[in-house]
């Protein structure tokens, strides 16, 4: 291996080790750190798809028939904006206690990124959309899962879909700020149904 290539590989491994160490220590992550986390979350969930054509619901979660607010991960708006060349002004934000500004997608109206055929930013769609209808909640600091009420596919999801979404949430759980979790928990429009999970199969 050429010296320059070996040096680059060692630098990459060293950089990755430093990053992983920061994650395990619970340090506050910066924008660059979160971009790496989001990329990994999107990699895990990239092929996690739902059989929406079987639902016959007309895309209720996309056209506002379900009163729901999707919540961006920290720096997820910025990540999507950079990757899809959509200005940040297209996104909605609000100030929340113990966190600061948070990005939200208000589904009381039609999703602004929904075209006649599909999601216009599908490769970079937000995690809260990818993981729907699986919802994380924190009870006494412990993460638990439920189904968002109203999706006709709640009890028809494949084990593969559930495995991948849970794997992504498990990656996020120890690094999400407390204030973000508190807001996600208190999101008043969420109505939940019991979550059914048979256990991990082959999420990679």
38, 54, 56, 65: which is closest to 158 by C-alpha? 54
45, 200, 8, 19: which is closest to 129 by C-alpha? 45
pLDDT at 204: 42
**Segments forming the whole domain that contains residue 67:** 29-194
Each as own residue / partner, the long-range contacts of residues 93-98 (CB below 8 Å, 24 or more positions apart, any chain) are 96/179, 96/183, 97/179, 97/182, 97/183, 98/178, 98/179, 98/182
The answer as to whether 102 is a domain residue is yes
Count CB neighbours of 47 within 10 A.
10
Look up residue 56 and give its two tokens: 């016959």
The answer as to whether 140 is a domain residue is yes
Q: Number of structural domains, the chain?
A: 1
Whether residue 152 is predicted with pLDDT greater than 90 in this model: the reply is: no
Give percent of the chain with pLDDT exceeding 70: 70
Max mean pLDDT range (93-102, 114-123, 156-165, 189-198) = 156-165
pLDDT at 55: 57
pTM of the model as a whole: 0.79
Residue 121 pLDDT class (50, 70, 90 cuts): confident
Whether residue 164 is predicted with pLDDT greater than 90 in this model: the reply is: yes
3-state class of 178 per DSSP? helix
Residue 19 pLDDT class (50, 70, 90 cuts): low
The answer as to whether 199 is a domain residue is no
pLDDT at 157: 86
The answer as to whether 200 is a domain residue is no
The answer as to whether 75 is a domain residue is yes
Match 């928990």 to its residue by tokens. Answer: 185
The answer as to whether 36 is a domain residue is yes
pLDDT higher at 155 or 167: 167
Each as own residue / partner, the long-range contacts of residues 51-59 (CB below 8 Å, 24 or more positions apart, any chain) are 51/153, 51/156, 52/153, 54/153, 54/156, 55/151, 55/152, 55/153, 56/152, 57/151, 57/152, 59/114
pLDDT at 203: 43
Distance CA 22, CA 13 (A): 14
Count CB neighbours of 124 within 10 A.
18
**Side-chain half-sphere of 122: how many Cα atoms within 13 Å?**
10
Radius of gyration of the chain (CA): 18
The answer as to whether 56 is a domain residue is yes
Counted residue by residue, the chain has a size of 204
Looking at 53-62, 94-103, 133-142, 159-168, which range is the least confident one? 53-62
Determine if the peptide bond prior to 89 is cis (ω within 30°): no
Ramachandran angles phi, psi of 129, nearest 5°: -80, -45
Average pLDDT, the chain: 77
The answer as to whether 52 is a domain residue is yes
């Amino acid at each position: 291996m050429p010296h320059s290539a070996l040096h680059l590989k060692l630098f990459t491994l060293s950089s990755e080790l430093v990053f992983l160490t920061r994650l395990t220590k619970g340090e506050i992550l910066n924008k660059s750190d979160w971009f790496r986390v989001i990329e990994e979350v999107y990699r895990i969930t990239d092929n996690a798809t739902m059989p929406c054509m079987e639902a016959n619901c007309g895309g209720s979660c996309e056209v506002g028939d379900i009163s729901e607010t999707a919540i961006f991960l920290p720096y997820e708006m910025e990540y999507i904006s950079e990757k899809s060349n959509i200005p940040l002004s297209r996104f909605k934000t609000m100030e929340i206690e113990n966190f600061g500004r948070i990005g939200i997608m208000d589904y009381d109206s039609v999703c602004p990124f929904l075209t006649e055929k599909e999601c216009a930013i599908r490769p970079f769609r937000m995690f809260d959309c990818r993981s729907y209808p699986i919802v994380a909640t924190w009870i006494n600091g412990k993460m638990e899962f439920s189904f968002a009420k109203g999706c006709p596919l709640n009890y028809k999801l494949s084990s593969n879909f559930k495995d991948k979404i849970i794997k992504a949430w498990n990656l996020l759980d120890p690094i999400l700020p407390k204030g973000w979790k508190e807001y996600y928990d208190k999101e008043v429009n969420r109505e939940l149904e019991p979550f059914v999970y048979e256990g991990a199969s082959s999420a990679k």
